[in-house]
Every structure is written in C-alpha cells, then in structure tokens.
A and B are shown apart, each in its own frame.
Chain A
Amino acid sequence: MRFSVPSSRAGDRVAAVFPVRLLNHISGQARPFFTFGVVALAWLLVPAAVKRFTRAALFEAQAPVMVTVERARELREYFVLRSRPTGELIAAGKETANALAAYEVGVGRLEQLEADNTRLRALLGMTPGAGWRQEHATVVERDLSAWWQQLVIDKGANHGVPLDAPVVFAGGVVGRVREVRAMTAVVALVSDPGVRFAVVVEGDPRPISYTGGDNPAFGPARGTLEFVPTDITVTGGAPHRLLTSGKGGVFPGGLPVGLLTHVEPSADGLFQTGEVLLPAALSALDEVTVLVPDATAAGLFVPPATDPKP
C-alpha cells in the first residue's frame, strides 16, 4: 500500500510530506513490523476505561456461547441417559430416593442443632456473624493453564454473586470469584497462583498462608503453604488435613482445602514452607456453590470482625 497526502493546501502539504515520504521509504518486508509497532504504540495510548469496556464487552459476547455449549453438553448427557434401559433408571431413581430420605433425616437433625446453636450463642451474647446464602452454579468452562486456573460459572451479577465470594463444592474449597459478569462469573481456583487465604492444620488454631500454584501436567493441582510453624511435622504416611481458618473474613472456617504432604525449612529460618495436594476432583468440577454473604441467612457462621482498636 502507498500513502498519499490529501493535497488541499500547500502549507499543510509541506508539513505532512516528510513523514509520508519516510513511511513510503520503509518498504518491503520491514513494513509489516513497522505497522505492528505503530499499532502497539496506539494500543498503549488507548485509555484504560476503553480497554476495560472492550474487555467486558468481548467477555459478554462470548458468555452466551459458553453457556450454550454447556447446555449442549447437558443435552448430550440427557440423551445418554435416555439411551439407558428403563430398569436401570428406575433402580437409580430408587437409590436416589433412599439417599434423599436419609438426607432429610440428617437435615432435620441439623436444623435442630442449628436452632440450639443459635440459642446458645444468644445466651452467650455472641453476635451471629454474617451468614451465607448458597448459590448453586454450573461450570460452563474450565480454563486450567500453566499460569492461571479458573472456571466460568453460569451465575453472575443477575444472581447477586459478588466479587471475591468464596466458592465451594462437596470436597471443600473451589476458589474465589475473580470477575463478575451479567450472567456469568469467573472463579479463580484454589490452584491459581493468585489465590491466597488463611488455612489451619486440622486441630491447630494457628493461621497459615496458603497460595495456589505449580500445577504439573497429568497430576492433581497443588498449592504452597508459607509461615508453617516449625513444630508442625509431616510424616510420610499421615499428611495433615488443611481447613480454612475462618479468620480471614472471606472464607467460612472448617472447609477442607487439601492435604499437607511435605514441609521444608523456609528461607527466613523461622518457619517452614509446605506443599499442598489439592483434591483431584477440583480440575473436573461440574457443579459448584457460591457462598454469597447474607446477613439474614442462617447456617455457616463466621467469627465477627475484629473490634476496632483504640
């Protein structure tokens, strides 16, 4: 392509002719690289707000596709199930009914305990912390790269999912909401290097720093611990269970995180660093639950915020 200068006025022409000549001089193979450089420079000058908007728009544009793909996947499941013999399905239904009955009994007991707990806390003058509303969501996309590990779920701002909300599944912690869109949200997995929270070794109150990261191929995801007290030792056969501390203000306490499989002295000599094996199910999740902080909801309690110091 050749650049020409609109020749309206002589004065302009003199001013503009030099750069255009220069451009035309850059010919042949150098030109694509030159263009690349110009685009890159231009990109740097684009205001951050514009970039943010573009990013959000592009995400929202993809969201329906992701959800549709997920629905297609569900449809496939549906047809897979339909191809099963009816007898098998009836048997499965019975099994489910049995399980449901057992759970109903359990739920009744839990409700009883919860009522007791609330009453006792009231007697002790403990203010109930914010509760959590459970928002169940389907994973529409799993994106587990070498640098980040995240899920896209099909609940977003429309269901009141807030930023930074904890996400859990039956096996424990899934991660934290990193991005909220209209109909979807991005969840950073516990194996993501950008996720950090306070955990405790089961049976020990001291909070320890957990950070995700280092996820080898063909293996369960991993995380690292920092500030592990030196008196915590790991023997080969008996790894410690790690639970959320409940003191950090984001995650409720007592949720399983993973297993502490190895510790070694840290660089500062005061502590140890540890290696955490995360549940294998984490990288194949289909359903997760977002815990939406809700003052009116009962259930999971978190300790009240630390009192302001004078």
Chain B
Amino acid sequence: MSRADQSLPDGVVTHTGQDRRLLVFYALVSAVLLTLMGGLAWQQLLRADVHDARERQQGLRRVLVPGPRGRIFDREGRLLAGSRPRFAVTLALDELGREFRAEYQAVRQNFRAAGEKDVPTTAQLEQIARTSVVRRYLESLDSILGRQTRLDTAGLQAHFSEQSLLPYVLLNDLTPEEYARLLEQLPVNSPMQVFASSVREYPFARLAAHTLGYVSAGVSREVPEDFPGEKLATFQLKDMAGRDGLEYKFEEQLMGGVGGVIFRVTPSGYRINPPRVKLAPTRGRDLVTSLDADLQAAAESGLDDLTGAAVALDVRTGEVLVLASSPNYNLQDFTPRLGSAASDDITARGAWFNRAVTGFYPPGSTFKLLTSIAALRAGVITPEQLMDEPCDGRIRIGNTWKTCDNGDGHHGAISLSAAIAESCDVFFYQLGLQTQPERIAAEARRFHLASRPAIELPNLSPKNDRSIIPEPAWFLRTHGRKISDGDTANIAIGQGDVLVTPLTMACFAASLARDEIFTQPTLLHDPGAPAQHHERTGLTPEQRTALLDGMEGCTMSTSTVIGTARILTAPSLRIPGLQIAGKTGTAQVKDRKNIAWFICFAPRKNPQIAIAVAIEGQEAGETFAGGAYAAPVAQKILRKWSEKQARAAATAGPPMFTLPLPAPAP
C-alpha cells in the first residue's frame, strides 16, 4: 500500500476506539466540520445571489423590454386602440456555438471528401454551416406544426452580423393552436422558445382612423438612468411609437416604461434562473377620448364612399363626439408594419388627409347664419323686416347678374327666417351689401371662424392653417384690388374666398347652440367636465328666435320648395321628436369640385349635440346640394344619438356619459 499508510506510527492502531478522550476529540472535530459544511450549505444555497453578484460582469446580460403601450378608449369605455400579444418562436443562436462548429467541420469535410477544387472560404463555410443548422431547427418546427416555412437566409445573415446574441425569430404570428402545440412539443430547455411581443390592435379597424393615428415599430427607447447595469452587454427589444393622430400627440402618456432583467449566463451561454435583477416594465397610461364609437361609426357609414368629413361636438363641453374623415384607411394594416402596396393604395385614394381638420372648404350657404348675425347685430335688418327687393331668381349686382340657386325664383318677398330656411341667395346678397364686408369679417373673426380651433391632434400649427375670412384689406393684399360689391355678395353667402374647416363649422354650430361666440373643441373625455362659457353672441331673444326659426325651417320645411332643404322633408329622414336647427349649404367653386355642407345642432331647446358635415363633389361643376349629400350623414349621426338618448332614458341606469371606465394605469 501507499507509503503514507506504511509510515504511520503504530500507536494510532493500538488506540483504535479505546480512548474515550479521543472520541470526545473526534466528536468535537466532527462538530466543527459539520459547522463548516453547514456554513458552506448556507453560502451555497441561501446566499448564492450575493456571491453571484460578485462574479465577473461578463457572465451577466441585460435584456431590456419596453412596457406595453397604453390603451385608447372611447367615452363609454370601448377599446379603440389596444395592444395584442403576438407569439413567435425564437432560436437562441448564442446557445448553438457547439452545433455550428460541428456542422462547420462536417461541411468542410464533405467539401474535401468530394475533392472539389474551389473549397469555399472559411466565412462562406461558416455561413453554410449556420444556415443548415438553423434550417434543421426550422424543419423540426415545421414537422410539429405541419407547415412549410421558407428560411429567410438573407435575414438570417443580417441578424448574425448585427445582433447574433439576440434570439432569431424563426416563425412569427403563431395562432393559438400553433402556440399550444409548440408549448407542448418543444422541450423545456430547447434553444427554440415561444416568445411574446406586443403589437397594436384596433378592434374597430377603420373607425376614427385619422383621429387615432397609427404607430410604427422598431423604435429604441431611452433607458432610464436609474436602471442598473449600464456597462453590461445589453439587448434591447424594440418598441413602437405613435406616428400620427392621438397615438403621436399623446406618445409620452401612452408609451410604456422600460423594464428588463439582468441574468447570469453559464460560460456556454445558458441563462441561469432566477434573474439577478428584475424590473417589471410599466404599462403606458390609458387615454380616454371624447369620441363616441357608436356615433363615429354612424358618421363613417354615412360618409361611406364619399369624400368629406363629419364632426360632432358635445355642445355643453365642446368634447368631440365624432371626428370622421373619408376616405380613410384600416389601422389593422399598420400592424406589424404597413406594406408598400397598402401605403400606395392609401396615397392613391387620397386617404392620408384628415379632412375634418385639414380640409379647407368654402362654407357656402352655412355662412349665411353668420351674415345674418352680423346684420342683426349691426341693426341692418330686424326679424320681421322684408328685404327691399323680392327674390325672382336673380339680381343685378354691379355689372353682373347674380342668380338665386335655390327655389327657382319662387322666394318673392321674404323675412330673414324664411330666407335662412329656404337659403335665398338674393336676400343674402342684399343683406351682405347692406351689412358691409368689414362688419361680416369682424363678426366672423369674433366667432373664431378666421382660424382653425386648436385641438389635440398633431401637425396643426397656425402655419398650415389656411382658413380665410376675406375683408377689404385682404382683397387689396391678395388680389391687388379693392373689394367689389360682387365680392361682398359672394362672401355673404360663403362663397368666393372664404375657407373654413369642418371642425371650425362644428364649433360654430355648437357656439350658436349655446348662444355664445366660441367653442373650444377637445378630444379628451372628462366625465366631470364643466360646461364651457364664452362671450354671448349679443343677439336679442327675438333675433335669436328668428335665426333658430330659420334653421329649424331649413330642416323641417314641409313646403314644396326645391333646393337645399328638400331632402330633409322626406319622412324617412326625419327623426321623430327631435327638433333640429340646421343649415344646408352648397359651395359652388368655379372649376373645382362643389362642396356640400350641413351644420346643425339638436335639440333646438337645450341643445346637446352640434354637427358639421362637408362632402366634396365627385366632379367639377356638378350639382351637388348640401341637403342631398351632407344632411343624410348628419341625420345618421343624429338618429344614432337620439336612439342612445332614448335608451339611456329608458334604462334610467347610470347616466350615459359616466359609464364605468377602466381605471387608468397609475
């Protein structure tokens, strides 16, 4: 046996098991050893974290995950934009080093064995090896899922050269069934793992597309400064960011807070659980818009294949209930990213523009309301007074004959109310000339028609606000001539150079409803929002009654007059029990498409909803009356609105606008 054994002093043997003092000594030694081992156990099992933290930083990796984006709800708590998980299978390339090497050797051997003269370079061989290994994994996936997938070799190479330490996405957009199959059939420790990311989801697809806006993926978030491990190898998953509409305007609020984990990896690159540091990403805050999905849907179904916009406001608070623009696009096409074909299609249809706020149209006859107010306030006319010259279909102004396009010359001598109701141009030519252009322009500015109202949408700076309310100085500046009577007559009926947006006119309608000069629109819903209050219009009760009589007459006329009002006389378009004060309009633009207008508020007493609709004509010069095209859209909105009102009253449950909303994330 070993020398050590043989050289032992004999004394040890003679004392075996006999000396009690020695036994005590052994017990002591054992106790000490046990204590030491206990200590080792303690360190190994319970304090492992502390020791691991002291390990080399190279063994640590940091993975940053963007927090989920906040959701957007309508005023009744319906989800307009949310986030949907998207399942993918990823392949951890950093775990395959050994496999790549083995494959590389095999490939090289094959080339040599085949005796080919031009053996590929090392880099090429590596590439072949990688591709075939990854393809093998993809094939194993395919056999589980029973599908055929083509390996994106170029994408794989790009991934390798740029971010080989991040998992490579083998398959994306798994169905729940595929996801379930992979969960069950992939080994728990396989380098292929199911991975979830989030994509934006728009349950209503096209609804309020322009207003909601869209997001684009591939954005790197800034890492918060207090996030530990800034020197570690970091992998950051890309986030998405708003690019238009509310998604863009409220980016700061909607975007989630970056979270992440720092975990240790074994020398071979395997991740060791649990992670050292784990910071949960935070969900972005939710946004509750003032839109009403029902009304918005009604408006969009009304607009359908027309080109135009519809805006509806809550008269009391100025909250925007509807902000629709047509043509629009499907927001679902933007997730995960918009294809070039879909993008070209949107461009071709001219669907990028939000016509409700970027469509500048002459307001046509709807402007007559403003002319009336200017005249009434200037004392040019009284409610009972008839116009000097009765309407026989045309009137000579300056050197030209101007026609009355409505009523075929049957208006005769009428009062203001009737002129509004039947939209008599001849009446308003004269009224405009009597009121003077300066007064009309001043009144329009007083009603904030000269500029687009501010609203929570991006790219609406005063610079691209093309609203125009012409006045003598403007004429001199722009056309280099004095304003003529013909110009004034045109302005009086909202033609010529006057340009406003549908949103402006909706605000105007809401202001009229409250008998005030301004309404500040907003896209944010506040259940406890106070009523807006601005300067009163200054009309006497009689004057206001005359104005509203005219507006109601416009919508309720039972006379056989033809023109702007005729469509609304059809019984099918009436809304029982609802008194609507409105004004149709048709802006005839020379050599350009006509614009059909309708603005209104309802009910006449205690108004609650104000609407403006503008529709572009399809072809230049065609007859395109507001009553025929724009009013039905408003009517659809109103019908839906009154239905909802009736239902709310019937259920007598919680009031309509204070339905429980999901609590916004803190």
Please name all residues of chain A whose beta carbon is closer than 8 Å to the beta carbon of B462 when the two chains form the complex. none
| Interface size counted on chain A using CB atoms at 8 A | 39
Cβ of B179 within 8 Å of any chain A Cβ, yes or no, is yes
Beta-carbon contact of A249 and B198 below 8 Å: no
Q: With contacts A227-B196, A249-B185 known, is A28 near B282, CB below 8 A?
A: no
Taking CB atoms, residues of chain B closer than 8 Å to A205 are: 176
* Interface stretch of the complex, out of A13-21, A124-132, A268-276: A268-276
CB distance from A296 to the nearest CB of B (A): 22
- List chain A residues, Cβ under 8 A from B81: none
A28 touches B184 (CB 8 A): no
| 19 A-B contact pairs sorted by A residue (CB < 8 Å) | A27-B4, A28-B3, A31-B2, A194-B189, A198-B179, A209-B194, A227-B196, A247-B177, A266-B280, A267-B280, A268-B196, A269-B67, A269-B280, A269-B281, A270-B68, A270-B198, A271-B196, A306-B147, A308-B146
Q: Closest CB of chain A to B194's CB: distance in Å?
A: 7
The SS class assigned to the B binding surface is mixed
Are A193 and B180 interface neighbours, CB within 8 A? no
- CB of B283 within 8 Å of the partner chain: yes
The 10 closest A-B pairs by CB, nearest first: A248-B184, A198-B180, A247-B180, A207-B180, A269-B281, A309-B147, A197-B184, A248-B180, A28-B4, A250-B184
- Say whether B189 contacts A267, CB under 8 Å: no
Chain B minimum-CB-distance residue to A32: B2
Cβ–Cβ contact A268 & B4, under 8 A: no
A interface residues (Cβ-Cβ under 8 A, vs B): 1, 27-29, 31, 193-198, 205-207, 209-211, 227, 229, 245, 247-251, 265-271, 303, 305-310
Nearest CB in chain A to that of B142: its residue:
A308
Residue of A nearest to B176 (CB): A207
For residue B83, CB closer than 8 A to chain A, the reply is yes
Q: Is B446 among interface residues, defined by CB-CB distance under 8 A? A: no
B213 at the interface (CB under 8 A from A): no
- A227-B85, A227-B196 known; A1+B2 contact, CB < 8 A: yes
Q: Which residue of B lies closest to A196 (CB)?
A: B188
CB distance from B145 to the nearest CB of A (A): 6
Would A207 and B67 count as touching, CB distance under 8 A? no
* Docked complex: B239-266 residues within 8 A CB-CB of A: 256, 259-261
For the complex, what is the distance from the CA of A195 to the CA of B189, rounded to whole Å? Answer: 10
Closest to A210 in B: B183
- Let me know if A270 and B189 touch, CB within 8 A: no
Which residues in A have their C-beta under 8 angstroms from that of B145?
A: 306
Contact B148 A309 (CB under 8 A): yes
- Is A207 a contact of B4 with CB atoms below 8 Å? no
Q: Are B83 and A270 in contact (CB under 8 A)?
A: yes
Residues of B in contact with A, size category:
35 or more
Interface membership of B181, Cβ < 8 A: yes
* Whole-angstrom distance between the Cβ of A179 and the nearest chain B Cβ: 14
| Bound: A211/B189 CA distance, A | 12
- Known A207-B176, A265-B280; judge A249-B65 contact (CB<8 A): no
A249 to B144, CA, bound (A): 9
Residues of A within 8 A of B44 (CB): none
> Using Cβ atoms and an 8 Å threshold, which residues of chain B touch A210?
183
Cα–Cα, bound, A205→B177 (Å): 10
Q: A198–B184 contact, CB under 8 A?
A: yes
Q: Take A269-B65, A309-B147 as given contacts and tell me if A251 and B184 are in contact as well, using a CB distance cutoff of 8 Å.
A: yes
Q: Check: B278 CB closer than 8 A to any chain A CB.
A: yes
- Chain B residues near A303 (CB, 8 Å)? 177
B526 within 8 A of A: no
- Expressed in whole angstroms, the minimum distance between the Cβ of A264 and any Cβ of chain B is 9
Task: Report the bound CA distance from A29 to B186 in whole Å.
Answer: 48
The complex places the Cα of A268 from the Cα of B275 at a distance, in Å, of: 13
Residues of A within 8 A of B188 (CB): 193-196, 211
A269 and B68 alpha carbons, distance in the complex (Å): 6
Given contact pairs A207-B180, A271-B85, a sample of 8 additional A-B residue pairs in the complex whose CB atoms are under 8 Å apart: A28-B2, A29-B4, A211-B188, A249-B184, A267-B260, A268-B65, A269-B259, A306-B145
The proximity string for B residues 175-212 relative to A, scoring 1 for CB distances below 8 Å and 0 otherwise, is: 11111110111111100001011100000000000000
Give B1-47 interface residues, CB cut-off 8 Å to A.
1-4
Q: Once the chains bind, are B177 and A306 in contact (CB under 8 Å)?
A: yes
Given contacts A207-B176, A207-B179, A306-B177, contact A267 B184 (CB under 8 A): no
The residues of B that contact A207 with a CB separation of less than 8 Å are: 176-177, 179-180, 183
B4 to A, closest residue via Cβ: A28
> Contact: A248 with B181, CB < 8 Å?
yes
Tell me if B185 and A269 are in contact (CB < 8 A).
no
State which of A28, A193, A250, A267 has its C-beta within 8 Å of the C-beta of B259: A267
Cα separation A308 to B142 with both chains bound (whole Å)? 9
Contacting A at CB under 8 A, from B106-145, are 144-145
A269-B282, A308-B146 given as contacts; is B261 within 8 A of A196 (CB)?
Answer: no
**In the complex, chain A residues whose CB is within 8 Å of the CB of B68:** 269-270
Q: Which residues of A contact B65 (CB under 8 A)?
A: 267-269
Quick one: given A306-B145, A309-B148, are A27 and B3 in contact (CB under 8 Å)? yes
In the complex, chain B residues 48-85 whose Cβ is within 8 Å of any chain A Cβ? 65, 67-68, 83, 85
Alpha-carbon distance between A213 and B652 when the two chains are bound, in angstroms: 52
The smallest beta-carbon distance between A262 and chain B, in angstroms, is: 16
